[in-house]
Structure 1
Amino acid sequence: MTSLLLRNGLVIDTVPAPTVLGRADVLIEDDRIAAVGPGLPAPPGTDVIDATGRIVIPGFVDTHRHTWQAGIRAILPDSTLPAYVGRVLRELAPRYRPDDVYTGTLAGSLECLDSGITTLIDWSHIQLGPGHTDAGIAALRASGIRAVFAYCYGTDDDLVALAAETARVRREYFDTPGVTVTMSMAAAGPEIAGEERALIEWRLARDLAMPVTAHMGGHGAESAARGLAFLDANGLMSHPTMYVHANHYTGEALKRIAAHGGTVSVAPGIEDALDIGPPPTGRAREAGVPTGLGADTVASGPGDMFSVMRAAYFLERGRPDGAGLGFTAADALRMATIEGAEVAGLADVTGSLTPGKQADVLVLRTDTLGVAAAHDPIAAVVLAADTRNVDTVLVGGRVLKRGGALRGHDIPSLLASLADSAGRLAAA
């Protein structure tokens, strides 16, 4: 057994709500959290990390990201959703080779880890062929991040091929339990690719024992109502489903989602910037729907959870007539950790410092001018910290970043490959 002790950090846990536990130690044995408390004894041979003057929190959970898009960062600012579909999905995506998918997904995953995101739902709709799929999965595994590979078949409209290829990917890559990268169904129906495809996707997800994540609720009120009614009429709402961009659901619709065990992923910055609609952060949570945060796309927005938490915080508190003023910094941190883990279907695995869970942990510096002298540690994380404060990152007890530097990867070489890929993809 290997052991690691984070000594004397200012510990913030998230269950049942974000709470400052004070100065304490976190003992990790193999891949799990063994104990949290002051003055813990260090077993012989323990690797001790001095966290004095640091904040120790669970790793962040990004519930929705198109990770392959790291090579087209900031290519489409000041835009709209239709422009994103045209430029990114119709023009740029077909140019991707498997090598581009690997490089973009690896760079995007390491960007997550570098900024404190330890769990990622990778909504991967760049499946132009088996080689692209292989590359995306290989990159997630190589990065070391905890990930859900959300597979969206995208070669053609052949629904028989969709079912066969999805089953193949599930069988060949994800039949082994207990792995760090798992699989879900990224459904393109019913609002984007139609109801016939949606029937295949949900039923296949049921047969293959996978949850579903779908872009639903973000295409206008009529589309949102029609899509939800379709799922309900076909008995599909009871299957574990994450609704991404649930902006146009009514309060009643959100309550129906909650009653069926559904969850919501909000990408507050992207939803507001691309004019998808006001983020449903507070409305979804008030309806009883577990709600997580996502960066979505770095083509049009930032990729770190600090930016996403702040977007959620300010946009929710800025709702008309003070409707969102009850939303707190602690709520934003909860969404970025344990609530996000619940949305991802991983609340029993990650999202808090509960002993027995996987040791997905962050150590944040406080000796920077932007964070120093902060009186409320939770507010310091949500409103003041940024990627420069991420000192140490652990996933499953493995130290993937320490002393402010990622470990185990040739970052200069990766950046050179990413630059080459980006130049080719964006060439006129």
Structure 2
Amino acid sequence: MNRTLLTGGTVVSMDPAVGDLDHGDVLIEDGVIAEVAARIDAPDAEVIDATDRIVLPGFVDNHRHTWQTAFRGVGADWTFPEWAVAMHGTVKPRYRPEDVYVGTLLGRLEALHSGVTTMLDWFHCALSPEHADAAVDALRDTPGRSVFCYGAGWGGTDPVDAEIRRVRSALSGDGPVTMALGLRGAEATSFDTVAEELRLAAELGLRTSLHVESDGTRRPVGDLHAHGLLRADTTYVHANGLADDELRMLADTGSSVAISPDVELKMGFGWPMTGRVLAAGLRPTLSVDDVPSAGGDLFSTLRTAFAVQRGLDGGLRSRDLLEFVTVDAARSCGLDARTGSVTPGKDADLILLRADDITVFPVTDPVATVVSHGHPGLVDTVLVAGRVVKRDGVLVDVDLRSLRTRLLESRDRVAAAAGVPLDGTWRPQP
């Protein structure tokens, strides 16, 4: 048996039955958490000294578009219509499978580096089957837990049944990369198509995810409800502008909501729905969305969501926020039996944050510190299913120099083919 002992850390388990430990040990056996206690005697285990470390479940991001990683930061000033024209109308048509691969690989590694052990990659660059395969290959080549959410045919109305089945046949197990279906929605297709895609997802055992929002004149969730198309295993992304009764429909169905506060505020979606989602009886989750417009770490996302909601109504506590990116997000991905808390029997998806770093020292309240002061520089160690994938602040067995070169080459080639500048003057015209 392969045994690892994390010893002497401040354990924030996110499991009420386990609780938190000021000084505690976590024993891992064959990739699974075996025991959490104040002191564990395991003389035959490999020891990882967690002194001056906060031991947490790895973060879960349930909505990110990693294929866009090469264009990080170029859309900081863009509205949503500008982003759509730029990313989907201008650069995406120039993407080759190898561009998808390196962008997805670096994007997933960035998330892992920042403590995201589980990530749903919402893929809507499906220009060909080869593009989809490249994204899957990149996720498989990254030592994290990933959900490939395949938005086949996104933005179009062509049938996607055969392609979804093809990819599903290659992702039919319960390994580190699993599959979900990204729905196109009735606005892009029709209610009949949504119903067909939901039937396909049910047949193939896939959870689904759908981008949805309203300007106050439309009722997208109400319309889905009227057609009998709400499902417990669907995550609704953004949800800005939905009416209170629509949120209650989602709660009654058992659905989940993924909120991307940085992107939503910057792009003009409206106020993040965190408080209203909670009031409706739902557990919100948080996501990065896309790095052309916002930072790629969930620490920043936590702070934005926290500050905005506290400013709106004084609600939320720091532990709420931490639940959103651990147990609640794991549940939204259908992975809560495997990850999301430091619970015996779950896979050892864990992160160790430096509590002695000058930016957080002294740590009096570890939960509040993570939410209000956390940043990727604190992520010292990351384990996925008990495997150490980041140690002493460095990703294990990753040639970042070579990958950086490949990503720059990809960005420059795509930009040149699309005829767009990379000097900060690019302003797409919707």
Output the TM-score relative to the length of structure 2. Answer: 0.94
Taking the aligned partners of 1:400 and 1:221, their CA distance within structure 2 comes to 45
Deviations 1:247-306 (A, max 9, x none): 111222111101111100000111111011110011112211121110000010000010
What is the SS of the residue equivalent to 1:249? Answer: coil
Unaligned runs of 5+ in 1: none
When the two chains are superposed, the root-mean-square deviation of aligned CA atoms in Å is 1.6
What is the SS of the residue equivalent to 1:243? Answer: strand
User: What is residue 150 of structure 1 aligned with on the other side?
Assistant: 149
User: What is residue 68 of structure 1 aligned with on the other side?
Assistant: 67
User: What is residue 138 of structure 2 aligned with on the other side?
Assistant: 139
Taking the aligned partners of 1:18 and 1:219, their CA distance within structure 2 comes to 40
The alignment status of 1:174 with 2:171, answered yes or no, reads: yes
What is the SS of the residue equivalent to 1:83? Answer: helix
Q: Which residue of 286, 291, 294 maps to 2:284?
A: 291
Q: Which residue of 190, 201, 217 maps to 2:197?
A: 201
Q: Which residue of 295, 309, 321 maps to 1:302?
A: 295
What is the SS of the residue equivalent to 1:355? Answer: coil
**CA displacement at 1:197 relative to structure 2:** 3.2
**CA displacement at 1:137 relative to structure 2:** 0.4
Deviations 1:134-189 (A, max 9, x none): 100010011011111100113884543x1111111112x1222x211111110111
Taking the aligned partners of 1:316 and 1:20, their CA distance within structure 2 comes to 26
The alignment status of 1:52 with 2:78, answered yes or no, reads: no
**CA displacement at 1:75 relative to structure 2:** 1.2
Taking the aligned partners of 1:197 and 1:75, their CA distance within structure 2 comes to 34
What is the SS of the residue equivalent to 2:147? Answer: strand
**CA displacement at 1:221 relative to structure 2:** 2.3
Taking the aligned partners of 1:188 and 1:244, their CA distance within structure 2 comes to 12
Identical pairs, percent: 42
Residues 24 and 36 of structure 2 are in contact (CA less than 8 Å); yes or no, is this contact kept in structure 1?
yes
Residues 124 and 152 of structure 1 are in contact (CA less than 8 Å); yes or no, is this contact kept in structure 2?
yes
Q: Which residue of 213, 216, 220 maps to 1:221?
A: 216
User: What is residue 252 of structure 2 aligned with on the other side?
Assistant: 259
The alignment status of 1:388 with 2:369, answered yes or no, reads: no
Q: Which stretch shifts more, 99-108 or 189-198?
A: 189-198
User: What is residue 88 of structure 1 aligned with on the other side?
Assistant: 87
Taking the aligned partners of 2:320 and 2:38, their CA distance within structure 1 comes to 26
Amino acid at match of 2:282: V
User: What is residue 395 of structure 2 aligned with on the other side?
Assistant: 406
Unaligned runs of 5+ in 2: 420-430
Taking the aligned partners of 1:206 and 1:221, their CA distance within structure 2 comes to 31
Deviations 1:68-100 (A, max 9, x none): 111110111122111111111111111111001
Alignment of structure 1 residues 265-344 onto 2, 5 Å: 265-319=258-312, 323=313, 325-344=314-333
Taking the aligned partners of 1:155 and 1:304, their CA distance within structure 2 comes to 26
Taking the aligned partners of 1:273 and 1:60, their CA distance within structure 2 comes to 23
Taking the aligned partners of 1:305 and 1:156, their CA distance within structure 2 comes to 28
Q: Which residue of 163, 166, 172 maps to 1:165?
A: 163
User: What is residue 238 of structure 1 aligned with on the other side?
Assistant: 231
Amino acid at match of 2:57: P
Taking the aligned partners of 1:128 and 1:238, their CA distance within structure 2 comes to 28
- Alignment length, in residue pairs? 417
Amino acid at match of 1:389: L
Output the TM-score relative to the length of structure 1. Answer: 0.94
The alignment status of 1:183 with 2:179, answered yes or no, reads: yes
What is the SS of the residue equivalent to 1:339? Answer: helix
The alignment status of 1:212 with 2:205, answered yes or no, reads: no
Taking the aligned partners of 1:5 and 1:17, their CA distance within structure 2 comes to 20
What is the SS of the residue equivalent to 2:151? Answer: strand
Question: Structure 1 residues 155, 240: closer, same or farther in 2, change over 3 A?
Answer: closer
Alignment of structure 1 residues 350-361 onto 2, 5 Å: 350-361=339-350
Question: Structure 1 residues 18, 40: closer, same or farther in 2, change over 3 A?
Answer: closer
User: What is residue 423 of structure 2 aligned with on the other side?
Assistant: none
Taking the aligned partners of 1:2 and 1:66, their CA distance within structure 2 comes to 35
User: What is residue 34 of structure 1 aligned with on the other side?
Assistant: 34
**CA displacement at 1:326 relative to structure 2:** 2.2
Residues 21 and 38 of structure 2 are in contact (CA less than 8 Å); yes or no, is this contact kept in structure 1?
no
Residues 290 and 342 of structure 1 are in contact (CA less than 8 Å); yes or no, is this contact kept in structure 2?
no
Residues 17 and 334 of structure 1 are in contact (CA less than 8 Å); yes or no, is this contact kept in structure 2?
no
What is the SS of the residue equivalent to 2:4? Answer: strand
The alignment status of 1:365 with 2:354, answered yes or no, reads: yes
The alignment status of 1:23 with 2:20, answered yes or no, reads: no
Q: Which stretch shifts more, 66-75 or 149-158?
A: 149-158
Residues 349 and 357 of structure 1 are in contact (CA less than 8 Å); yes or no, is this contact kept in structure 2?
yes
Question: Structure 1 residues 143, 277: closer, same or farther in 2, change over 3 A?
Answer: same
User: What is residue 117 of structure 2 aligned with on the other side?
Assistant: 118
Question: Structure 1 residues 19, 241: closer, same or farther in 2, change over 3 A?
Answer: same
Question: Structure 1 residues 193, 36: closer, same or farther in 2, change over 3 A?
Answer: same
Taking the aligned partners of 1:121 and 1:292, their CA distance within structure 2 comes to 12
Taking the aligned partners of 1:100 and 1:376, their CA distance within structure 2 comes to 43
Amino acid at match of 2:172: D
Amino acid at match of 1:175: S
Amino acid at match of 1:8: G
Q: Which stretch shifts more, 139-148 or 193-202?
A: 193-202
The alignment status of 1:375 with 2:364, answered yes or no, reads: yes
Amino acid at match of 1:264: V
Amino acid at match of 2:47: V
Question: Structure 1 residues 15, 286: closer, same or farther in 2, change over 3 A?
Answer: farther
Residues 69 and 297 of structure 1 are in contact (CA less than 8 Å); yes or no, is this contact kept in structure 2?
yes
